[in-house]
Amino acid sequence: MFSSFCSALSVLFIPNSSSLPLDHIHQLPQWFEEELEDDLKWSFAVNRVLHATTSEFQDIVLLDTKRFGKALLLDGKLQSAEKDEFIYHESLVHPALLLHHNPKTVFIMGGGEGSTARETLKHKSIEKVVMCDIDRDVVNFCRAHLKENQDAFQDEKLHIIFDDAKAGLEGRAEKFDVIIGDLSDPHEGGPCNHLYTKSFYEDVIKPKLSDNGIFVTQAGPAGILSHKVFSSIYNTVKHVFKYVIAYTAHVPSYADSCGWVLASDHPIRLDKEDLNNKIHERVRGELRYLDGAFIVSSTVINKTIRTLMMNETHVFTEEDARFAHGRGLVGNA
Ligand SMILES: *[C@@H]1O[C@H](CO)[C@@H](O)[C@H](O)[C@H]1NC(C)=O
Ligand SMILES: *[C@@H]1O[C@H](CO)[C@@H](O)[C@H](O)[C@H]1NC(C)=O
């Protein structure tokens, strides 16, 4: 989801480089380096490249990193890392499902890695999950190589479609209790920009939510110096839904906080005891990161960012988008 540039690997992934023997690749990268901003880089030591392939849309790489375990990269952009992906995926999925009175059907925009489906399927009430990712090869790659998501990929409640998320939603007659945006950040020329616009929320998301339905989207970096996209998505969603909550969490492998925006036209009740009871009753197994108290506290945002967010006037449209740093390659994860 974070835009980045992998200098060590990009050398290897010029279009026709996928024919390089993997042995050759194994010896090369020592450090994975990601450009977070024009003036900021983040790098971590790599043991080896575990798997690498190129799809119609993007380069797909699984690295074994020293600090963060296995790390999935799309076009050199870190998508998630074994050691801390639970922070991002629990935060994306569980608040929305717990705040819904009885979620049975879920639509995931993106999410090809399978972790969002995995977290969703922990809810006993779930009958059907539709995951819509544009890249079949990412899904097959993750199905083959991410052991932790193998059960989710085999679950008969999971229906995978390969399409742009807008077309995927528009093409279905049914409505969903919860719609989840597990998309890459909006960036210049990026493939997901239309999935963050006011008109998309109004004309596509809202009509596809069932009564009391809840929408949640990842909303990019949420740090003091990096919250511009987050603030804009928050303000945009506020123009479309009656009740909107923003919340954040620090994700070590992103070297920043991540933000989410959750919305409904039905009042949202945030109560720590109530959430704890629901986690106990509805979720199979233990959550590692979230409990009632932390879900509530993650919605409390420090004054610096809160003031900027409350004062935000930018509305995200196709003509007037706001971008995170990035190269703008095709990919919907
Ligand atoms: C202030 O809040 C934002 C959003 O929650 C967070 O990303 C940031 O890290 C916070 N700042 C500090 C210094 O903790
Ligand atoms: C936000 O808006 C309030 C009220 O209009 C104003 O007093 C404050 O200075 C603004 N803060 C920022 C950071 O723009």
Report the pLDDT value the prediction gives residue 37, as an integer from 0 to 100: 86
Q: Does residue 106 lie in a domain region?
A: yes
Asked whether residue 44 falls in the same domain as residue 134, the answer is: no
Same domain, 251 and 195: yes
Which listed residue (182, 203, 271, 320) is catalytic? Answer: 182
Query: What would the pLDDT profile of 270-327 be if each residue is shown by its tens digit?
Result: 999 999 999 999 999 999 999 999 999 999 999 999 999 999 999 999 888 888 876 4
Tell me the CATH number at 57: 2.30.140.10
Segments in the chain below pLDDT 50? 1-21, 23-24, 327-333
Does one domain contain both 161 and 213? yes
The predicted pLDDT at position 103 comes to 98
Position 223 scores a pLDDT of 95
In the annotation, is 182 catalytic? Answer: yes
Is 15 found in the same domain as 149? no
322 in any annotated domain: no
Among the listed residues 169, 165, 170, the one whose alpha carbon sits nearest the alpha carbon of residue 109? 165
Domain CATH code at residue 168? 3.40.50.150
| 45 within some domain | yes
The rounded Å distance from CA 126 to ligand 1 centre is 33
Has residue 320 been placed in a domain? no
Structural domain boundaries enclosing 206: 85-310
User: Could you say which ligand is closest to the alpha carbon of residue 308?
Assistant: 2
pLDDT at 331: 33
Residue 318 inside a domain? The answer is no
Say if 166 falls within a structural domain.
Answer: yes
Q: Is 303 in the pocket of ligand 1 (CB under 6 A)?
A: no
Q: Following DSSP, what letter does each residue of 196-227 receive, concatenated?
A: GSHHHIIIIIGGGEEEEEEEEEEEEE-STTT-
Is residue 22 within 6 Å of ligand 1 at its C-beta? Answer: no
One domain for residues 39 and 151: no
According to the model, what pLDDT value does residue 318 have? 87
Instruction: State whether 147 and 56 are in the same domain.
Output: no
Does any domain span residue 316?
Answer: no
The pLDDT of residue 151 is: 97
Q: Interior CA angle at 152 toward 147 and 156, to 5°?
A: 140
Distance 269 CA to ligand 1 centre (A): 24
The 3-class secondary structure across 266-281, one letter per residue, is CCCCCCHHHHHHHHHH
Task: Report pTM.
Answer: 0.89
Are 259 and 188 part of one and the same domain?
yes
Answer yes or no: do 140 and 235 share one domain. yes
If asked whether residues 55 and 90 sit together in one domain, one would say no
Q: Are residues 288 and 150 in the same domain?
A: yes
- Ligand 1 pocket test target in 301, 310, 312 with most atoms within 8 Å of CB: 301
Tell me the pairing of strands 77-81 and 158-162: unpaired
Same domain, 66 and 93: no
Tell me, in angstroms, the distance from the centre of ligand 2 to residue 225's CA.
18
Note whether 139 and 55 are same-domain residues: no
> How far, CA to CA in Å, does 183 sit from each of 65, 66, 106, 317?
23, 26, 15, 17
pLDDT for position 210: 97
Is the Cα dihedral 37, 41, 45, 51 positive or negative?
A: positive
Q: What is the DSSP string of 18-87?
A: GGS-HHHHHHS-SEEEEEEETTEEEEEEEEEEEEEEE-SS-EEEEEEETTTEEEEEETTEEEEETTTHHH
Task: Give the tokens for residue 140.
Answer: 């097959």
